[in-house]
Amino acid sequence: MPKKLEAAHLKGVCEACKAGRDALLDGNGSVNAIADALVILEDDETFDAGVGSFLNSVGDVELDAGIMTGDSGDFACCGAVSRLRNPILACKKLLEIAPNRLLVCEGMHKFAEENGFELIDNDELKISREIERYKNKSAPVEKYFLPSDTVGAVALDEYGQIAAANTTGGTPGKLPGRVGDSPIVGCGIYAGPNAGIAATGYGEPIIKTVLCKCVYDEYSKCKDIDLATNHGIGILSLYGWGGVIALDKEGNSAARHNTTKMPFARWDEKNNKIEKKISNPL
Ligand code: GLY
């Protein structure tokens, strides 16, 4: 990540963390907290989620998103949606009212529209930076490299419920209809009674690793969220690049990655402090 992009990333994750914190302080629970945090990141062009996402091989934005709760193991996810500004809010609605849990493309658009969400033109999600990157496909990767990827959030509320969520525009130049790890339970997202985890990075290796369930299962054995995330990233490293944020039921959190940097923020309730960081691998 070029140094000049760090400030925008830190600002974005910090604003998102504040929104999540405010929802928790208002007693709105972990699902609303992570959804509020993700809306901030979806609306922030810095990140590959919502507006400003990478374009696919035909020059469109297609988004994946997902949300999962730890107590019931319920989840609600969508894949390859192109007409929703904030797919995480439609996932939250799906979680609340629908009998089915993963909708893609037109199915999710139909569900969203029937439940009061505006269907936008795909052009509204495209920005000049990404149009330029798309037009210069053959340029060296460093020229247009942008360090953003999937955005995620994990929260534990006063009722003891852990929830995890993420949103992504996926990888640049992906095939239309490609769905990555983000809305796949156990891969890009997982929450159970013990912990919640959200992943970022290249979807195919993350799916191969079943990364978030891998971290969850290790945590259930060793009861140390930092060791568990280290274990998961160790296995991911056999296949590719990415990172995770994780939170256990005691409120301990961890952030690990094998990329050069990963921006994150966390709210420390005891000291009422928000820590923001561009983390480097340990
Ligand atoms: N993690 C984003 C993707 O590969 O879809």
175-234 pLDDT tens trace: 999 999 999 999 999 999 999 999 999 999 999 999 999 999 999 999 999 999 999 999
Quick one: three-class SS letters along 23-89?
A: HHHCCCHHHHHHHHHHHHHHHCCCCCCCCCCCCCCCCCCCEEEEEEECCCCCEEEEEEECCCCCHHH
| Ramachandran bin of 111, using left for φ above 0, alpha for ψ from -120 to 50, beta for the remaining angles | alpha
Regarding the beta carbon of 192 and ligand 1, being less than 6 Å apart is answered: no
Residue 142, pLDDT score: 54
In ligand 1, the atom with minimum distance to the C-alpha of 179 is 5
Tokens 């054995």 found at = 221
With a 6 A CB cut-off, is 47 part of the ligand 1 pocket? no
Atom of ligand 1 nearest to the CA of 48: 2
Which among 119, 29, 120 is positioned nearest to 67, based on CA atoms? 29
Mutate to test the pocket of ligand 1, among 81, 150, 209, 239 (most ligand atoms within 8 A of CB): 150
Cα-to-centroid distance, 272 and ligand 1 (Å): 32
In a domain, 231, yes or no: yes
Count of domains observed in the chain: 1
Query: Which domain CATH number covers 71?
Result: 3.60.20.30
Cα–Cα dist 161/159, whole Å: 6
- For ligand 1, is residue 169 a contact (CB within 6 Å)? no
Residues of the chain with pLDDT under 50: none
How far away, in angstroms, is 207 Cα from ligand 1 center?
9
User: What is the Å distance from ligand 1's center to 270 Cα?
Assistant: 33
Q: Is residue 168 domain-resident? A: yes
SS3 217: helix
* 153 Cβ neighbours under 8 A, 6+ residues apart: 16, 20, 33, 34, 37, 38, 41, 164, 165, 166, 198, 245
Residue 282 belongs to some domain of the structure: no
Tell me which residues are annotated as active site.
150
Rounded to an integer, what distance in angstroms lies between the CA atom of residue 68 and that of residue 140? 38
Q: Is residue 191 part of a domain?
A: yes
Q: Is 183 in the pocket of ligand 1 (CB under 6 A)?
A: no
Q: Is the CB of 171 under 6 A from ligand 1?
A: yes
Ligand 1 centroid–CA 29 distance in Å is: 27
Q: Kindly list the distances between the CA atom of residue 152 and the CA atoms of 33, 57, 135, 140, 168, in Å, as whole numbers in the listed order.
A: 12, 24, 28, 28, 9
Residue located nearest, by CA, to atom 4 of ligand 1 = 203
Ligand 1: atom nearest CA of 199 is: 1
Domain that holds residue 165: 3-277
Q: Say if 116 falls within a structural domain.
A: yes
